[in-house]
């Protein structure tokens, strides 16, 4: 019996600045109807659903993975379409890695966005990304992409294949501590009045 590990073969990936990967392992898509509870202005989200329908695409992710074990990497693109819901810009659901110490790199391919970042104990950060800019997100940081421009915000990401995602951590807290909102021609952070604190630190 051989003691040699099974070795995956190198794969050429054709990554589009407009979003999408030829050679991907999978694609998943999120629609307007999937964003129930994500925006704090629920009436604005409901109005958007009424106007455009639950099947309107709001973002999609292509990724490539060999396996789920430690040592492997997942590489992908996230494409978040522009939009506003009241004063809030379009966002992804956001997550903390299920194995919380796993880091993730995001590199902006096109568009203009913000990586909204928070820790369970209340630290916050917001990093603006434009083409050629990247943010290296350390472990233990909840992170969410926000499109603050008027074209698709496309990022290339890479993280450990065993990291997993915890999406419920944000919903359980009533949303993230800060919102990214319109401010003239730019953006600003605004405290989220619904935020109750993350569960690991709740009283």
Q: What does the alpha-carbon distance between residue 54 and residue 75 come to, in Å, rounded to a whole number?
A: 29
Contact (Cβ atoms closer than 8 angstroms) between residue 33 and residue 49: yes
Residue 1 is predicted with a pLDDT of 58
Residue 5 is predicted with a pLDDT of 73
Provide the pLDDT confidence category of residue 99 given band limits of 50, 70 and 90. very high
Q: Which helix (H) or strand (E) holds 119?
A: strand 113-119
Q: Which of 33-37, 145-149, 185-189, 197-201 has the lowest mean pLDDT?
A: 197-201
Closest residue by Cα to residue 33 from 57, 51, 11, 10: 57
What's the whole-number mean pLDDT along residues 8-23? Answer: 93
Residue 203 is predicted with a pLDDT of 45
Q: What does the alpha-carbon distance between residue 190 and residue 203 come to, in Å, rounded to a whole number?
A: 24
**pTM higher than 0.85:** yes
């Amino acid at each position: 019996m051989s003691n040699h590990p099974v070795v995956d073969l190198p794969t050429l990936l054709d990554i589009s600045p407009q979003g999408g990967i030829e050679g991907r392992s999978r694609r998943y898509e999120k629609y307007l109807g999937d964003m129930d509870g994500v925006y704090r202005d629920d009436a604005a989200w409901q109005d958007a659903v009424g106007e455009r329908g639950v099947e309107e695409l709001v973002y999609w992710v292509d990724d490539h993975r060999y396996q789920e074990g430690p040592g492997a990497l997942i590489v992908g693109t996230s494409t978040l379409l522009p939009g506003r819901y009241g004063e809030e810009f379009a966002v992804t659901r956001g997550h903390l890695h299920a194995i919380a110490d796993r880091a993730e790199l995001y590199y902006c391919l096109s568009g203009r966005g913000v990586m909204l970042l928070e820790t369970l104990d209340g630290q916050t950060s917001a990093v603006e990304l434009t083409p050629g800019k990247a943010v290296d997100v350390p472990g233990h940081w909840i992170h969410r992409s926000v499109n603050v421009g008027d074209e698709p915000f496309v990022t290339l990401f890479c993280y450990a294949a065993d990291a997993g995602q915890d999406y419920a951590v944000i919903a359980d807290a009533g949303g993230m501590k800060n919102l990214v909102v319109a401010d003239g021609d730019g953006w600003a952070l605004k405290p989220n009045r619904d935020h109750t604190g993350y569960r690991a630190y709740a009283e």
